[in-house]
Structure 1
Amino acid sequence: MEVLSNGKTWLIASLLIAGLLVPIFVHDVYLRHLFIISFVYGIVAASWDLTLGYAGIFNFAHIAFFGVGVYAAGLSAKLLGVDPWIAMLVGAGAASTAAAIVALPVARLQGVYVVLVTFAFSQLIMQLVINQSDITGGTQGMVRVPTIWLPDYNFLRDNKLGFYYVAFALLVATTACLHWLVRSEFGLSIRALRDNEDYSASRGIPVAWQRLKALVASAFFAGLAGGFYVIYVRVASPEVFDFSTVSLVLSMVLVGGTSSIYGPLFAALVLTFISEGFANINNFAEGRHMLVAAIMIIVLLFFPKGIGSAFRARPQESLSR
């Protein structure tokens, strides 16, 4: 296993402490909301990078997995009476199941064919949600989804303090799991497949099986984020499948840097505040998308591999395994 350097350890510890202290200094409910949404997007972006950056799979169904998590958790909590805490895991499991279905054709495809199949799947899921209006609410969405609770504690009356710490805990747990995954033998194998599939296959790495595991693992975290999202906002809407959501999260991955767990997390925090913050400014609600696009272009001009590449250790600086 790779051991973190002292500098990186102190940096991560400082960020963890800063994350824990944010609600103490930030009392504005809307700012806390932006932090929560940025944590959700951070989980989705970082988990997308597992397939897009590390495995080299041009997976455009990742936001669909997020949407599956949203609706699976929302429906199980509202219609089936499942405890909202458990419903979040139901969303993660449903997203992983959907990814396993997608992996059947994708595992043996390459290039543009993977893009076409995954994009078609996301459109199929969106149409399914819209057409099954008796269950999902259709274009009107599903409202008043039950939310999480604890004995003698009301999450709806604490100015989003509880939701902040739950979202932050999910972000930390997801980051730790992804960090472990990409540095495990599995992570090494999918990077080998990304760099040279034919050579890796000749060395005994099962291409289809590793791709399936990468898709299922990344979808699990996206579905978990979707499950928390619907429990938090208490609304499930087809808008989660919109191209605007896809482009925003993809911008976070590209700006943060592919093959970088921490880059997309940082980009998610910055771009969420820019996108959501400017959405409430008069005469600038539509221009926020252009601003995000401009930021992405500028970053990629100076850092083609994203801002994460600026902080990536050189090979000689990497610690021994």
Structure 2
Amino acid sequence: MSVAFNARTLAFLALLLVGLVVPFVVQDTYVRHLFIVAFIYAVVAASWDLSLGYAGIFNFGHVAFFGIGVYATGLTAKLLGVDPWLAMLIGGLAASAAAVLVALPVVRLQGIYVVLVTFAFSQLVLQVVISQSAVTGGTQGLVRVPTIELFGYNFLRDYKFGYYYVALLLLLLTVGCLRWLVRSDFGLSIRALRDNEDYGTSRGIPIGLQRLKVLVFSGFFAGLAGGFYVIYLRVASPEVFSFSTVSLILSMVLVGGTSSIYGPAIAALLLTFVSEGLANVDGLAEGRFMLVAVAMIVVLLFFPGGLASIISKKRSGRRGPAVKRMRPASVGEKAQG
């Protein structure tokens, strides 16, 4: 086990080193832009996996949390004059507040009903954004959103050098926090409910409270990513709620592998570059999302566990369902706390 741990640690450090030196090697601002967008999508995909993969909640309103973060940050920064750094945090908190509203009906529903409610919530938020055009800009979007500053450093004139490292830091913090959550007793309890809901509740795990926490945590990171997204692009557009955005990020989760925080993050990098690469090929721009969907189906046919299953076997596959690994009483008791 120590050898495997050391190998994973070395692989992570190698990837981190590569990530740190990319801006020095890549001078093209467009390629840097793709990395920044990929990091943002990686945060959204990894946080979606917390609710979809680890908790088994078919939440199709996750991109709405991302969009709420976009508009909450953009509006507070532009209309209220809030510092953009603080506005990004407000975007995350606004998404968490929205997650509480979604959780109220979701905690009592299962299967397709969860999909319908969360998808309806996403469409409701979209309609609110479009209808309140006097505030949100409607279909024209919200433009000229103030951007971040750091000790007088100008992020607008450094050829996306500073934005790259902020996006990378956001991704590292998100992955670190999510990994800590899924490895904690809280993570064990939500996997127990996912594997066997009846057995989990019989051990004292409050299903409603745990689902609420999952949606709040995953919503916060998606909203935080949305906040940085609008600060970086300086434009909030209703397109963030579009089906193409939903399908692209969902593809990242499924191709990367559910119940694997690293998998969706890696898939986000791959699919972002593939999608943008196809957009620049004559005749393929319109059908690039279809090609991405086909690639997703091929990966899932041969590797049902996603790319993460290629890198390493899932611990749950070696040790059995989470409900069998629960300690006699402590997990149920701590989940209630």
Whether TM exceeds 0.5 here: the answer is yes
Aligned to 2:296: 296
Match status 1:265 vs 2:265: yes
Q: Which runs of 5+ in 1 are unaligned?
A: none
Deviation at 1:4, TM superposition (A): 7.3
Mapping for residues 109-258 of structure 1, pairs under 5 Å: 109-258=109-258
RMSD: 1.8
Q: Following the alignment from structure 1 to structure 2, what is the Cα–Cα distance between the partners of residues 180 and 13?
A: 18
Aligned to 1:58: 58
SS in 1 for 2:23: helix
Q: For residues 165-191 of structure 1, what are the alpha-carbon distances to aligned partners after superposition, in whole Å with 9 as ceiling and x for unaligned? A: 000000000000001000000000000
Match status 1:72 vs 2:77: no
Deviation at 1:51, TM superposition (A): 0.3
Q: For residues 267-307 of structure 1, what are the alpha-carbon distances to aligned partners after superposition, in whole Å with 9 as ceiling and x for unaligned? A: 00000001123223332211211221121011111101211
Aligned to 1:101: 101
Q: For residues 200-241 of structure 1, what are the alpha-carbon distances to aligned partners after superposition, in whole Å with 9 as ceiling and x for unaligned? A: 001100000000000000000000000000000000000000
Identical aligned residues as a percent:
70
Q: Following the alignment from structure 2 to structure 1, what is the Cα–Cα distance between the partners of residues 6 and 98?
A: 40
Q: Following the alignment from structure 2 to structure 1, what is the Cα–Cα distance between the partners of residues 51 and 81?
A: 33
Q: Following the alignment from structure 2 to structure 1, what is the Cα–Cα distance between the partners of residues 310 and 206?
A: 33
Aligned to 1:278: 278
Aligned to 2:306: 306
Deviation at 1:313, TM superposition (A): 3.8
Gap change, CA 1:54 and 1:3, over 3 Å in 2: farther
Q: Which runs of 5+ in 2 are unaligned?
A: 320-324, 328-337
Deviation at 1:152, TM superposition (A): 3.1
Range with greater deviation from structure 2 (264-273 or 2-11): 2-11
Given residue 92 of structure 1, which amino acid in structure 2 is its aligned partner? G
Aligned residues: 319
SS in 2 for 1:5: helix
Aligned to 1:49: 49
Q: For residues 114-143 of structure 1, what are the alpha-carbon distances to aligned partners after superposition, in whole Å with 9 as ceiling and x for unaligned? A: 001100000000000000000000000000
Given residue 163 of structure 1, which amino acid in structure 2 is its aligned partner? Y
Point out 4+ residue stretches in structure 1 off by more than 4 angstroms. Answer: 314-318
Gap change, CA 1:226 and 1:3, over 3 Å in 2: farther
Q: For residues 83-133 of structure 1, what are the alpha-carbon distances to aligned partners after superposition, in whole Å with 9 as ceiling and x for unaligned? A: 001110010000000001100010111111100110000000000000000
Q: Following the alignment from structure 2 to structure 1, what is the Cα–Cα distance between the partners of residues 220 and 145?
A: 21
Given residue 263 of structure 2, which amino acid in structure 1 is its aligned partner? G
Aligned to 1:27: 27
Q: Following the alignment from structure 1 to structure 2, what is the Cα–Cα distance between the partners of residues 188 and 3?
A: 24
Gap change, CA 1:3 and 1:230, over 3 Å in 2: farther
Q: Following the alignment from structure 1 to structure 2, what is the Cα–Cα distance between the partners of residues 302 and 104?
A: 38
Gap change, CA 1:20 and 1:106, over 3 Å in 2: same
